[in-house]
Structure 1
Amino acid sequence: MDNKRLAPQIEQPLRHLLDPSYPLCREDVLWALGFIKKKVADGAPEWSGLDRPQLLAHFACFADMALLLLHRRSPSNQETECFRAMLSELLKHD
């Protein structure tokens, strides 16, 4: 995926996860964390322009969601908002 636009088959699940009325489930979070990990490893252009504080905030959010999964706990409203904000960065450049 060298272009800035995400493939439709990937963009749709991300948009679905951003819907505040959609409750996040474990499988959705696992998929999104895996997707984010791959995008970052591939040098995602969507995030290459972020400054250090933004990157650190995204990392903290990523780590929090991963730990929630390990402890089999549901995310709080604040954690869910943070996760959705992080995911929205992937869709900024449509």
Structure 2
Amino acid sequence: MKPEIASLTAEEPLRRLLDPAYPLCRDDVKSALGFIKKKVADGAPEWSGLDRPQLLAHFVCFADMALLLINRHNPSDKDTACFRAMLRELLPKKPPI
């Protein structure tokens, strides 16, 4: 499978997390955090262009979600909104059909 096709396939399950009506579940959040970690480690251009305050805000959001998983707490509305905003920025925009 071509890398760009594999990347699109890996992103699709994360897109449903952007829907406010879709409830976040533990496995979805774990998958999303793993995806984000990989993208950052790979030097994703979506992240390399962020200014320092944005990058730090995303780090705080990432860390908060990870700690919620570790402590088995449900995310608050604020945590969920932050997480979805971070995903929205990270996932490439879908091309119009």
Corresponding residue number in structure 1 for 2:11: 11
How many residues are treated as equivalent by the alignment? 93
**TM-score normalized by the length of structure 2:** 0.86
**TM-score normalized by the length of structure 1:** 0.89
Letter in 1 for 2:10: I
Q: Name the CA distance, whole Å, in 2 between partners of 1:60 and 1:16.
A: 22
Moved over 4 A (4+): none
The higher-RCO structure (CA 8 Å, 6+ apart) is 1
Specify whether residues 6 and 45 from structure 1 end up closer, same or farther in structure 2 by C-alpha distance, changes over 3 A only: farther
Specify whether residues 93 and 2 from structure 1 end up closer, same or farther in structure 2 by C-alpha distance, changes over 3 A only: farther
The alignment-based identity, stated in percent, is 70
Q: Find the structure with the greater CA-based Rg.
A: 2
Corresponding residue number in structure 2 for 1:57: 57
**CA RMSD, Structure 1 to Structure 2 (Å):** 2.0
Specify whether residues 21 and 6 from structure 1 end up closer, same or farther in structure 2 by C-alpha distance, changes over 3 A only: farther
Structure 1 gaps, min length 5: none
The C-alpha deviation readout for 1:17-53, integer Å capped at 9, x for no partner, is: 1010000000000000001000000000111110000
Instruction: State the shift of 1:8 in Å.
Output: 2.6
Instruction: State the shift of 1:91 in Å.
Output: 2.4
Instruction: State the shift of 1:7 in Å.
Output: 2.9
SS at match of 1:88: helix
Corresponding residue number in structure 1 for 2:35: 35
Q: Name the CA distance, whole Å, in 2 between partners of 1:55 and 1:48.
A: 9
Letter in 1 for 2:19: D
Structure 2 gaps, min length 5: none
Instruction: State the shift of 1:84 in Å.
Output: 0.3
